[in-house]
Amino acid sequence: MQYTHLGRSGLSVSRLCLGTMNFGPQTEESAAHAIMDSALDAGINFFDTANVYGGSGHRGWTEEIIGRWFAKGGERRERTVLATKVYGTMTERPNESKLSALNIRRALDASLKRLQTDYIDLYQFHHIDRNTPWDEIWQAMEVAVQQGKILYAGSSNFAGWHIVQAQEAAARRNYTGLVSEQSLYNLLARSVELEVIPAAQQYGLGLIPWSPLQGGLLGGVLKKERDGVRRTQGRAADTLKKHEEQIRQYEDFVDELGQEPGDVALAWLLHQPAVTAPIVGPRTQEQLDAALRALEVHLDADTLKRLDDIFPGHRTAPEDYAW
């Protein structure tokens, strides 16, 4: 396993992050525990979750599953860099969502209880709160750090200017601020290259891409449909229709390389200088094993250029609109 620092922090994390959103709703508990054990054995020490994971009928379910896994012992907690999130609505009562000081305090304590741990390594804001001032947010986080309940703060789904706001407000308080940003980023979805990635790099945030295979569309979807293995529906079907020719070119090119589409899509992210660790969210052990293969895939300059030709990015970001 390869490791790197999370942004400008001294925290060492694996180049793949285990996403746990499927644990509970899609993957039953014993299988989830087996996947987490296998991930640790493979050297993945970076696990990501959120307080709302588990579905609308059982928010917190995923954290509970992870907590029971930690409770098995075997230094599972000590070997894991644990990331969870705050913002989402947990109940319909006032003050049980977003980033008020009150919700941060309550949500953090509830996550700690579900996770059966006394601290969170990376506590992430799941979304920007447009109505809570940054001084209030950072004061609440400073208190949590002083109490030993969290170590680092991160953001998710932030715009570039949100990162600027957060970091400048933290600097005025002589506080570290954010060390990471979790964003949608893959070969098909590259808008973060415009301003989010430049802002993250300027302020020393590590980028943690979610949905690295764009919901499976970069995982060989056309071949799977031809073979009757997969039937794409809903928004994924609309996206596939819009980008079918690009995806066809991509799958043909990957065949020429002698690689698997999902492996190349993950490897491409690992070759991007701003990326710390793509989030892989396996439902099965086989999907985890497939993700691990990407660590062995090297993409040379010609291959990276060909991928950019198929899926054009923003080469002059953040001033791309001006040239």
In terms of Cα–Cα distance, which of 275, 256, 148 is closest to 212? Answer: 275
Phi and psi at residue 152, in whole multiples of 5°?
Answer: -130, 155
d(CA 295, CA 15): 8
d(CA 281, CA 181): 17
**What is the per-residue burial (b if ≥16 Cβ within 10 Å, else e) of 305-322?**
ebbeebbebbeebbeeee
State the number of CA atoms in the 13 A half-sphere of 303 facing the CB. 16
CA geometry: angle 72, 78, 80, nearest 5 deg: 90
3-state secondary structure of 294: helix
Query: Is 303 buried (19+), middle (13-18) or exposed (0-12) by CB count in 10 A?
Result: buried
Crossing angle of helices 134-146 and 101-115, rounded to 10°: 40
Considering 3, 53, 175, 185, which one is annotated as catalytic? 53
Look up tokens 């209030």; give the residue.
136
Whether 53 is catalytic:
yes
| CA 43 to mean position of chain CA atoms | 18
Please say whether the dihedral angle defined by the alpha carbons of residues 30, 34, 35 and 39, taken in this order, is positive or negative: positive
Q: Using CA atoms in the order 15, 20, 26, 28, what is the torsion angle rounded to 10 degrees?
A: 110
d(CA 81, CA 208): 14
The tokens describing 95, both together, are 């003050």
Enzyme catalytic residues: 53
